[in-house]
Structure 1
Amino acid sequence: MTTSSEPRPPAAAHHDVESVLRLEPRGDLDYDTSPEFLREAAAALAGRGTANVLAVDCRDLGFVDSVGLSALLEIHRDAALANVAVTFTHIGPRLEKLLRITGTYTHLTGATAQKNTS
């Protein structure tokens, strides 16, 4: 369930540099917002041009439920199928906890299973 009262676009996509496509999910990523987020992510990947890296900036990501987690996994899979490397940046403590509890942290971030204390 989305908790924000003001509608916001689920994500913004833009190129930082020619080879990097940045996707910035905003607000909650849940049952209500995941379908639109996935459409926007698919459109960004389809129109990526020469970008070979998808950087998902999670700094403005709010609550993530199981459907939202599934959306993140789907984006990761779709990018891999398109030969686009994926990085997740600015992962907040709540999202990190969800990823670690579900065993998806290493898969999505490529980081080691041990928590980075730096």
Structure 2
Amino acid sequence: MSSLPPTEFSLTVRCEATTLTVLIGGELDHETSDELLSEVSEQLSAGHPPFRDVHLDFGKMTFIDSSGLTALLMIHRRTSAIGAGLHLDNRPPTLERMLQLTNVLDHLTTPPTRTGDQRAEEDDGAGVT
């Protein structure tokens, strides 16, 4: 039996106005989770205008272990401390399953923001049975 070599870990950071986006690639595990936590912490304290939203994009992540989950919980603690919403975007099935099994998805993430059009549509249907 052969196994695939690990995918190299990578982080790509984008700061746009009040939104921080971090694209995560490769394996988020005991060897790499500190790098993610350090990068996000550094960005949050770098003196930019305060971030209102932090998006972690997992579209290129290939693996996550309990150390990776711990890093996500620590990032949530830091975003909550500054009043920023945490969004876990493009979650692969392995991350989705881990979040469901540990029952932390609702704790970690900010509900999607409704637009004015969505609020108007919901208000139009209010009271109708």
User: What TM-score do the two structures reach when normalised by structure 2?
Assistant: 0.73
| Residue 14 (structure 2) aligns with | 14
The alpha-carbon distance between structure 1 residues 48 and 93, as it changes in their structure 2 partners (threshold 3 A), is: farther
Report the structure number with the largest CA radius of gyration. 2
Identity rate of aligned residues, in percent?
Answer: 28
**Distance in 2, Cα, partners of 1:34 & 1:56:** 13
| Residue 33 (structure 1) aligns with | 32
The runs of at least 4 aligned residues of structure 1 exceeding 6 Å deviation read: none
Structure 2 SS opposite 1:59: strand
**Distance in 2, Cα, partners of 1:28 & 1:4:** 7
Structure 1 SS opposite 2:59: coil
In structure 1, the gaps of 5 or more residues are 112-118
Contact 2:9 2:24 survives alignment (8 Å): no
User: What TM-score do the two structures reach when normalised by structure 1?
Assistant: 0.80
**Distance in 1, Cα, partners of 2:99 & 2:35:** 22
The alpha-carbon distance between structure 1 residues 48 and 25, as it changes in their structure 2 partners (threshold 3 A), is: farther
**Residue correspondences, number:** 106
Contact 2:27 2:61 survives alignment (8 Å): yes
Provide Cα deviations, 1:19-76, integer angstroms capped at 9, x if missing partner.
2110112211111111112111111211261232111111112211011100011111
In structure 2, the gaps of 5 or more residues are 112-129
Pairing 1:56–2:56 present: yes
